[in-house]
């Protein structure tokens, strides 16, 4: 059983399906990459997996529990960074860190890790400022630092490297690889070639369907789902 599993899920607006009959499984310690053209429904799929959108049909389970039945302590083990992260207007960057830390009762080691991430992403000296004054790239780095500091069991990222300069993107890839090495299941959508991450599986949304290939074994034959590809629930 994967850490996060989607079983035959479908989503649409009105009578229009965005995608349907999607199944996938995210395993501990693996990075899965989601690709597809603009408008294919990648962001919507990630939002559904994070329980930000309601499915038309099917079920998503985290550590064996349906999303709608998760308790707060279980939800805190999932983290999602949207393509356009949102912040509270009246909180500084570090006040966002404090809010997250106090809500999750961080120990000293976790506070130290949050400080390390802020330094690593080059935003520690700006933490007394409000995120709405940040550039898009700085807001992205803050959102990713907050998500990584949670040390979640499952991390969902929507185009995380898109707004970043090459140096910051490389740092983020390092941190994603590091958290996966600790056992976190990671799913990230991406339009750009990754420099440092070798995903266990690549999933492609196309024409309302999800296809998969194992990045270690080459592309799919005939455009279908490879029988031995990880990351796809069968």
Looking at residue 195, its pLDDT comes to 84
Q: CA separation (Å) from 73 to 59, 103, 176, 215? A: 20, 10, 23, 34
H-helix or E-strand spanning residue 35: strand 31-35
Percent of the chain topping pLDDT 90: 84
Distance separating alpha carbons of residues 148 and 155, to the nearest angstrom: 8
Looking at residue 15, its pLDDT comes to 83
pLDDT tens sequence across 152-203: 999 999 999 999 999 999 999 999 999 999 999 999 999 877 888 999 999 9
Rounded to a whole number of angstroms, the CA Rg of the chain reads 18
CB atoms within 10 A of CB 103: 10
Distance separating alpha carbons of residues 9 and 48, to the nearest angstrom: 9
Burial class (CB in 10 A: 0-12, 13-18, 19+), 130: middle
Looking at residue 214, its pLDDT comes to 53
pLDDT tens sequence across 33-43: 999 999 999 99
- The yes-or-no verdict on residue 217 having pLDDT over 60 is no
Q: What is the dihedral of CA 197, 185, 23, 199, to 10 degrees?
A: 10
8 A C-beta contact, residue 15 and residue 184: no
Distance separating alpha carbons of residues 207 and 218, to the nearest angstrom: 21
Whether the model clears a pTM of 0.85, i.e. scores above it, the answer is: yes
pLDDT tens sequence across 91-127: 999 999 999 999 999 999 999 999 999 999 999 999 9
- The yes-or-no verdict on residue 223 having pLDDT over 80 is no
8 A C-beta contact, residue 142 and residue 117: no
Q: What is the mean pLDDT of the chain?
A: 90
| Sheet with strand 209-213: strands edge to edge | 78-81, 154-158, 185-189, 31-35, 201-206, 209-213
Distance separating alpha carbons of residues 184 and 31, to the nearest angstrom: 8
Give the chain's end-to-end CA distance (angstroms, integer).
11
Q: What are phi and psi of 179, to 5 degrees?
A: -70, -30
């Amino acid at each position: 059983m994967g850490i996060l599993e989607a079983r035959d899920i479908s989503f649409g607006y009105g009578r229009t399906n965005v995608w349907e009959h999607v199944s996938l499984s995210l395993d501990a310690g693996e990075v899965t990459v989601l690709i597809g053209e603009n408008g294919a429904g990648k962001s919507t799929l990630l939002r559904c997996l994070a329980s930000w959108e309601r499915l038309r049909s099917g079920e998503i389970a985290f550590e064996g529990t349906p999303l709608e039945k998760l308790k707060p302590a279980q939800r805190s083990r999932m983290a999602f960074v949207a393509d356009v992260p949102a912040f509270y207007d009246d909180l500084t960057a570090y006040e966002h860190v404090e809010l997250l830390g106090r809500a999750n009762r961080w120990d000293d080691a976790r506070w130290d890790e949050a400080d390390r991430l802020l330094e690593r992403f080059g935003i520690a000296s700006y933490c007394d400022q409000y995120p709405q004054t940040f550039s898009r790239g700085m807001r992205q780095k803050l959102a990713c630092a907050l998500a990584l500091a949670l040390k979640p069991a499952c991390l969902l990222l929507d185009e995380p490297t898109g707004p970043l300069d090459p140096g910051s993107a490389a740092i983020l890839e390092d941190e994603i690889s590091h958290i996966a090495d600790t056992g976190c299941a990671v799913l990230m959508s991406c339009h750009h070639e990754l420099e440092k991450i070798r995903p266990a599986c690549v999933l492609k949304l196309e024409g309302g369907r999800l296809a998969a290939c194992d990045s270690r074994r080459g592309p799919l034959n005939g455009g279908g789902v490879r029988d031995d590809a990880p990351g796809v629930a069968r």
